[in-house]
Amino acid sequence: MNKSTWKNLFSFEYMITPVVLQILMILWVIAVVVGGIASIVQSLKFWFDAWMFWSGLWMIFLAPIGIRIYAEILSVIFKINDKLQKLLDK
């Protein structure tokens, strides 16, 4: 990083939260999928628990979509900020 990059970082000209948001989204999806797999394995390990099995499938297939939608809604705020900053710079 050069000097102007550090200046932009500490004067809040450059937003690091969108990058952090993407990293957290990936970690959250991994955690949910691992939890879904664990739920399915647990339901099959001792006895077949249909509720636990279906909740595990829901966690694997639907929860990542919900996480992605939530992250996109949060990222819209930062995109609006970027567009407003460009308008102010003109």
DSSP string, 39-63: HHHHHHHSS--HHHHHHHHHHHHTH
> Which residues of the chain fall short of a pLDDT of 50?
none
- Residue 48: per-residue pLDDT: 81
In the numeric block, the tokens 């999928």 are attached to 33
- Residue 32: per-residue pLDDT: 96
What does the block give as tokens for 24? Answer: 């957290």
Where are the domains positioned within the chain? Answer: 15-89
- Residue 2: per-residue pLDDT: 61
- Residue 3: per-residue pLDDT: 65
